[in-house]
Amino acid sequence: MNEVANDLKLGAVDAGLVWDITVRQYPELEGVPVPLFKQAKAQLGIGVLRCSDQPRSALRFARFLAARDRGQPEFARQGYELEEGDPWTLTPEMVLYSGAMNRLAVEDTIRQFEQREGVRVTRIYNGCGILVAQMKAGGRPDAYLTCDKSFVFPVADLFPDPLVELSDSAIVILVAKGNPKEYQIWCKFFLQNSFETKFGPLS
């Protein structure tokens, strides 16, 4: 884009197609809006290398650029259209609702995430039914990790991508070694009836 604008500035060409933001950086040029092009938009993004030696600082800088009270006003002065950004904070905080049975599986990952991202995560562990009730009553976590996808659907409207399956688990029952009383048939019948009463027929 800058090469096209420079050619126009030097008079090497008579017309060229560039982004509107490029025109604003060249006061010698005049932009002619074309209605057909109004739908053509590009999003400006910033990336952080996975192999960065200083990921916390790099991510903090990325957040600074996107903050509505730090980097965004400068982008606005340059003529960029803005997305809604978060206010700047040195150490962002987020809230995670999670089914209590997930705690052992996710705690180490959350600690690593906090360390790398430079954020603080408040964990709310509880029964998934209780967490759903809290969200129905107005609780708004930044992320929600449930023990079973059936607990996603009642609050799916609160999340842009409500269902991402991370793992699978099976329900089992413990019996005496060798199962001398042969509980498996009774247990299967009992568990299936209990599940179908709550969630509907098993497929």
Tell whether 154 and 98 lie within a shared domain: yes
Q: Which among 84, 88, 83 has a CA at the least distance from the CA of 61?
A: 88
Work out the pLDDT band at 165, boundaries 50, 70, 90: confident
Which strands, in side-by-side order, build the sheet including 120-126?
A: 120-126, 93-99, 143-145
- Residues 104, 125: one domain? yes
Give the Cα separation of 97 and 137 in Å (integer): 14
CA proximity to 145, closest of 169, 160, 171, 123:
123
Q: Mark whether 147 and 182 lie in a shared domain.
A: no
pLDDT number for residue 98: 96
- pLDDT average, residue stretch 142-169: 89
- Pair 134, 103 in one domain: yes
**Counted domains in the chain:** 4
Q: Is residue 48 part of a domain?
A: no
Task: Calculate what percentage of the chain has a pLDDT beyond 70.
Answer: 90
If one compares 142 and 193, the residue with the highest pLDDT of the two is 142
Confidence of residue 182 (pLDDT cuts 50, 70, 90): confident
Query: Among 169, 191, 8, 28, which Cα is nearest to 102's?
Result: 169
User: Can you tell me the distance from the alpha carbon of 147 to that of 142, in angstroms, rounded to the nearest whole number?
Assistant: 17
- Do both 80 and 99 map to the same domain? no
Contact 181, 175 (CB under 8 A): yes
- C-alpha 100/C-alpha 157 separation (Å) is 23
Q: What is the mean pLDDT of the chain?
A: 87
Q: pLDDT tens-digit profile of 24-62?
A: 889 999 999 888 888 888 888 899 998 999 999 999 999
Any idea what the CATH number is for the domain that residue 151 is in?
A: 3.40.190.10
Q: Say whether both 122 and 175 belong to one domain.
A: no
Distance, CA of 175 to CA of 181 (rounded, Å): 9
Given a cut of 50, whether residue 203 has pLDDT beyond it is: no
Q: Which domain holds residue 203?
A: 171-203
pLDDT at position 41 is: 86
CA distance 29 to 33: 13
Which residues face 95 on adjacent strands? 122
The label of the residue with tokens 């009383």 reads: 181
- Asked whether residue 100 falls in the same domain as residue 147, the answer is yes
168 compared with 134, residue with greater pLDDT: 134
Say whether 121 sits in a helix, a strand or coil: strand
